[in-house]
Amino acid sequence: MSKLTTHVLNTSQGIPGAGIVIQLFEVVDNQRQLILSTKTNADGRCDAPLLSGDTFKIGVYELDFHAGDYFIAQGVAAPQPAFVDVVTLRFGIADAAAHYHVPLLVTPWSYSTYRGS
């Protein structure tokens, strides 16, 4: 089934990133168009795919992960402004029949991503 999913891991504490606000945008002519806003569940995942079925299509997208607010809520002592605040990942969907999984591994000082399965 073609779909877009994500997962957030707080690698500084070795726990799922629960309660992180995520916004999904489609990028058309270099302009961002908000598709949805959601929050991660207790496992650091979204309860439903971000895109699936008719909404899943070839194109350029961005995910905004509001990690700075998450770390503040966790009681992490961080400078203001935070070093890692809103993490924006721009990626392309080239295969409308594939599953795209875009995880975020994040700490108050760094982040990484990859195309998961």
pLDDT digits (tens, 9 = 90+) for 15-58: 999 999 999 999 999 999 999 999 999 999 999 999 999 999 99
Calculate the CA 58 to chain-centre distance: 18
Residue 79: pLDDT band (50, 70, 90) is confident
Inform me whether the pLDDT recorded for 111 exceeds 90. Answer: yes
pLDDT at 44: 98
pLDDT at 57: 96
- Average pLDDT of the chain is 96
CB 80 within 8 A of CB 57: no
Q: Residue 42 to residues 4, 8, 19, 45, 108: CA-CA distances in angstroms? A: 19, 10, 7, 7, 19
Q: What residues contact 11, with CB distance under 8 A and at least 6 apart?
A: 105, 106, 107
**What does R_g of the chain's alpha carbons equal in angstroms?**
14
Residue 78: pLDDT band (50, 70, 90) is confident
pLDDT at 36: 98
CB 3 within 8 A of CB 99: yes
The two three-digit tokens of residue 99, written as one number: 């599953």
Integer Cα distance of 51 and 37 in angstroms = 12
pLDDT at 117: 87
